[in-house]
Structure 1
C-alpha cells in the first residue's frame, strides 16, 4: 500500500494554479479532489454565462486540460479554440461541450463526470457550487463592484469580498473536505481563484471541523497585479483563516523565506519549473506534498 492509496487530498482554487496542483496529485487518482471556482465572468466563459446562464466552466476546463494524460481526438476537441471573425471567435470548444452537457444533465457535476470518463481523468473535479454566482467586492472607499473581471481591475484596496447571490456548496465537495488528510489552498489568483470557494460557509466550516487534515497554503511564484498584488502574504493568510472560522493554516509552502511570518510554519522549497520559473513544477509539487503528508 502506498501513500497514494491510503491518503486523501483536496485542492481548492481555480485557473492554471489548481490545474497545476491537480496534475501534481495525479498519482492519487480518485483519492484526490479538486474543488473548482465557478465565478469567472470573463472571456469565453463570461460570454457563455451572459447568453446561457449557468456556472462558469473555464476553470474546470483548464483543470481537465492539465489532467489529460493520453492525447486523442477527444482531448484535441476539448482544447480547441475557435478563431475567425464570427460569433464563435475566441470560444473554447471545451466550455461549449460542458455547457451543452450541463443542459442535458440533471446536475453540472454529471456533466463534469461525463467529460472525465470520456478523457480518462481519474481525479475528482467538483464545482464549488452548482448554482451560478458572482464575486462582489467592497473597496475601502465604499464602492461595490460585481464580477471577477471588475474585482481584478479595482484601483482601490478591498475591505470585503462576497458571493452574489449566496449559493450552497456542492455536497460532494464538503464531503471530500471532511474526509481529507490534507487540504491545499492555491497556488493561483488569490481573490478570484482561492477565495471564492472559501466564501461558501459550508466549505469554511468543513475545513474548520477537520482537525486531522493538514491545511496548506501554496504561494505563487510570480507577483499578482491589481488589488491582490497590493495585499501582503500575511493579509492573504488572515483572509483564508477568517473564512475558515479562524482555523489556523498549518503550513505555508513557498520558494521564499518569510521571517516576518513568525506565527506560521513556513516551509521553503524549490517549486519552480526548470524552463519557466514563474510556473510550478508538477514533480516538485508532488514531492513537497508527499513530504508534508509523511511528516
Structure 2
C-alpha cells in the first residue's frame, strides 16, 4: 500500500481517540496516517512560526501563525474537496506574493468571527476536515533557544542555528487552547512527531497547559523518531538523545517508534518499537505505513 491508496474509513465507534502534537510537514504526515485508524482525530499545532506568510499575517493581525494549521486542515480534509486544493494555492505576484490562500482564509475568518478557534472550525468545514485542528496556544508565540552559538530568538533563526540544547517560549505563561487540553485528557493515544524536534514538536508541547495535559493524560504517548538527524538543530542526535531532549523539557513518551536501522548508539530508557514506516526512497515517512504501525501500538497498549 502506498500513501496514494484510498484511505480506509474507521468505524464511527470503537476506534481510538488520537491527538497528534507538533507542526510542519511532519505533523501533516502523522495526521494522514492517524486518520486511517482513529475514530476521532485532533491536531495540536505549534504556532511559533515567524517566517514567510505566517510571520507576515501574525504581525499584521496578531493571530497565531496559520501556516502549519493550514497544512493540518488539508491533511485531514476531504481528498475530493476542491477547497483542500485551493487552500494550498500560493500567490506568486503582487502584495499577496508568497501567501497561500488557506492562510488568508484563516486570517479573514479570524477577523470576521473575532474567535480564532471558531475560524479554524469554519475553515475545517470548507475543506471537509475529518477531525479537529487546534493551536497549542491561542496567542502568537516566540520561540527561544539555547544553542551552540548562544541564545537565539525566533523560530526562523532557531531552525538555522547550531545544535540546540533547550527551547522556551515567550510569553512563558502563554495560555493553552482549552479544547486542545481537553482533547489530550480524553485521548487514547497521543502522537508526537515526526518533525523538527525543537522547532515543531517541542514548540507545541511546552506550552504550559499542553505540557501539563501531556503529563496527566492516561493516553499512550508515542514519539515518532525522525528518519535522520535534522541539520543543524539535532546534528549528531541518536534516538536516546531525542528522548533525553524531550525529558529535559518535561515530555515523557511511553514508547518510541523508529524505522529499522535508525541510529541507536545508546539505550533511550523507554521501549523502542521498530517498524518500516519510511517511503520506498527512505527519505520521508509514508502515511500508509506509519498508520498501521501506530494502530498496532494502540492494540498492544504501547
Structure 2 equivalent of residue 126 of structure 1: 134
Q: Comparing 34-43 with 19-28, which one deviates more in the overlay?
A: 19-28
Name the TM-score, length of structure 2 as normaliser.
0.88
- RMSD of the TM alignment (CA)? 2.1
Q: 1:220 aligns with which of 226, 241, 244?
A: 226
Q: Deviations over 1:92-147 (max 9, x none)?
A: 11111101111112321111100111111111111001111110113355x33211
Structure 2 equivalent of residue 70 of structure 1: 79
Task: Tell me the distance in 2 between the aligned counterparts of 1:75 and 1:180.
Answer: 26
Task: Tell me the distance in 1 between the aligned counterparts of 2:297 and 2:135.
Answer: 26
Other structure's SS at 2:20 match? strand
Task: Tell me the distance in 1 between the aligned counterparts of 2:77 and 2:287.
Answer: 14
The aligned runs of 1:191-230 (5 Å cut-off) are: 191-210=198-217, 212-230=218-236
- 4+ residue runs over 6 A deviation: none
Deviation at 1:232, TM superposition (A): 3.9
Q: 1:262 to 1:134 in 2, by over 3 A?
A: closer
Task: Tell me the distance in 1 between the aligned counterparts of 2:88 and 2:293.
Answer: 29
- Asked whether 1:279 is paired with 2:284, we answer yes
The aligned runs of 1:1-295 (5 Å cut-off) are: 5-28=14-37, 31-84=40-93, 86-140=94-148, 143-155=150-162, 157-166=163-172, 167-210=174-217, 212-244=218-250, 247=252, 249-255=253-259, 256=261, 258=264, 260-261=266-267, 263-274=269-280, 276-295=281-300
Deviation at 1:240, TM superposition (A): 1.6
Deviation at 1:207, TM superposition (A): 1.5
The answer to which structure has the higher helix fraction is 1
Task: Tell me the distance in 1 between the aligned counterparts of 2:164 and 2:182.
Answer: 31
**Structure 2: runs of 5+ lacking an equivalent:** 1-9
Q: How many residues align?
A: 288
**Structure 1: runs of 5+ lacking an equivalent:** none
Structure 1 equivalent of residue 6 of structure 2: none
